[in-house]
Chains A and B, each alone.
Chain A
Amino acid sequence: MSLLEVHELSKVYGEGAAATPAISELTFAVEEREFVCVIGPSGCGKTTLLRCVAGLLAPTAGSVVLRGKRVARPPDEMALVFQEYNRSLFPWMTARQNVAFPLRRKRLGKQGAARAETALDEVGLGRFVDHYPWQLSGGMQQRVAIARALAYQPSVLLMDEPFASVDAQTRADLEDLILQLRQRFGVTVVFVTHDIDEAVYLGDRIVVLTRAPGRIRETVLVGLPEPRDQIETKALAEFTRLRTHVNRVIKQEAARQPASPDAQGS
């Protein structure tokens, strides 16, 4: 039995004439400590998939099973980093308060604030703990949201394009931070991204989705050696091969259906 099983998962938004199928009969499993990247064109249902897995959205059909138990509401051991990071931070709380917010329920007392500060330090925001989200840049806000998920110490971490608004260097640092974290705590990660290089660099496996409504187009095993290194790993011939392969699959997928105006996505 896998840690996380997604079984024939479908989600249709709306009803009747307005019905929009977002994902369609997705089936895959995630093993304990595995790092799975989900990649696919804009609008193919990646966020929908994560919200169903997180127990925030009831699927139209199919199921999500965590440790043998069907997910019907958000499980305690999961944390989700939202794509709309700026809206998921509370503007009336400082960065520290935002990060400590989910820790209230863990009854850590003083330790909670300390953990929040450590997490903010790790994402490079140690000097901004007392700033409000609106006093921070987009990329910094995104890092606060990441710090909040890290401080929560989930066993399953779901991330929805978490590095979309940070610069290349910060992005590389954050990628390595997440990898380290998995090394240290054995976190299982489901990671949505648009970036092929990122998916290959981070993932043990890459799930490539089709255009909307999302189905699994192909699952790519990434056998790159651990630990990964921004320079060494990306210089490997195998890295280039995987990246070309994923790129080709995505190109073929885009060409498979008649092009629609938003087919290029981002």
Chain B
Amino acid sequence: MLAALSVLESVTRTELISSRHFPPPTKIFSTLARELGSATLWSDLANTLGGWALGLALAFAIAVPLGIVVGSSALLHRLLALPIEFLRPIPSVALVPLVVLVYGTGFQSKLFLVVFACLWPLLIQTIYGVQDTDPVAMDTARSFGLGRTERLVLVTLPGAVPYIATGLRISSSVALMLAVTAELVIGSAGLGRSINLAGEGGAVELMYALIVVIGVTGWALNSVFARIERRVLHWHVSVRRLEHAR
């Protein structure tokens, strides 16, 4: 990492790569340090993370209950499989013109795009998780007289949690991507819009500094999720395998 940075530093300092397009890392980081003291960066970050969090939460609130219902009913799954497979591949970005028409260029548009993109990984994972319930585990609960609801809460859901967690981790990165994209393309307030403005205003170092901020944010969110996942799913095979490897 350090080696790569120092190579970049010398290459850009000696103008092997034009510093107008790629300023030396030291300059990027000094700009970043300066920006960390400004209110704009923090309000941009709050805006972007706001879209991320609310979008992810809404998608979760829609997709998980829906996934549970669809996953537990063979009929519903058959009915909805086609519409889901049709809607899922639509890139959120393709909906930008429509969304702008309906919601304008504010937070709502960003939210919609994030929710739309996050819905699918969560929905599909929840459906798989519910369908993957071990029939023997289910029969065990049935043989001890547990009713439908009890079986759902005590057997199906705990078994589906690993799948839902994976969906959540995927959706978290998708949400950040879409929040920034919406800010870039539509111009909703946030890091994305500021990158755009910096680029157009020729503030190349600021532009890179903001890109670094997004990268670090994405990495931080991902490691938080991975950590929670490891803790909650200590019993699951995927986590146990990690323990073995250590």
Chain B: interface size category: 10 to 19
Say which residue of A84, A132, A152 sits within 8 Å of B144 (CB atoms): A152
* Cα separation A51 to B142 with both chains bound (whole Å): 11
With contact pairs A82-B136, A84-B136 given, residues A91 and B143 touching in the complex (Cβ less than 8 Å): no
Q: Is the CB of B155 within 8 A of A90?
A: yes
The yes or no answer to B15 lying at the interface (CB within 8 A) is no
- Determine the chain B residues whose CB is within 8 A of the CB of A79 once the complex forms: 143-144
* Cα separation A131 to B201 with both chains bound (whole Å): 62
- Determine the chain A residues whose CB is within 8 A of the CB of B146 once the complex forms: 105
Q: Is the CB of B142 within 8 A of A74?
A: yes
Q: Is the CB of B235 within 8 A of A82?
A: no
Q: Is the CB of A101 within 8 A of B144?
A: yes
- The chain B residue with its CB closest to the CB of A76 is B145
- The chain A residue with its CB closest to the CB of B135 is A87
Q: Within residues 44 to 92 of chain A, which ones have a CB less than 8 A from any CB in chain B?
A: 51, 54-56, 73-74, 76, 78-80, 82, 84, 87-88, 90-92
Q: Within residues 123 to 160 of chain B, which ones have a CB less than 8 A from any CB in chain A?
A: 134, 136-137, 139-140, 142-146, 154-155, 158-159
The yes or no answer to B236 lying at the interface (CB within 8 A) is yes
Say which residue of A56, A90, A105, A132 sits within 8 Å of B143 (CB atoms): A56
Number of A residues with CB within 8 Å of any CB on chain B: 23
Q: Within residues 90 to 146 of chain B, which ones have a CB less than 8 A from any CB in chain A?
A: 134, 136-137, 139-140, 142-146
Q: Is the CB of B137 within 8 A of A90?
A: yes
Q: Is the CB of A87 within 8 A of B136?
A: yes
- Determine the chain A residues whose CB is within 8 A of the CB of B154 once the complex forms: 101
Q: Is the CB of A102 within 8 A of B136?
A: no
With contact pairs A87-B134, A132-B235, A134-B240 given, residues A82 and B139 touching in the complex (Cβ less than 8 Å): yes
- Interface pairs (21), CB distance under 8 Å: A51-B139, A56-B139, A56-B143, A73-B142, A74-B142, A74-B143, A76-B145, A78-B143, A87-B134, A88-B139, A90-B155, A91-B235, A91-B236, A92-B158, A92-B159, A102-B144, A102-B145, A105-B145, A105-B146, A134-B240, A152-B144
Given A73-B142, A82-B139, 12 extra CB contacts under 8 A: A54-B143, A56-B142, A76-B145, A78-B143, A79-B143, A82-B140, A88-B137, A92-B159, A92-B235, A101-B144, A101-B154, A105-B145
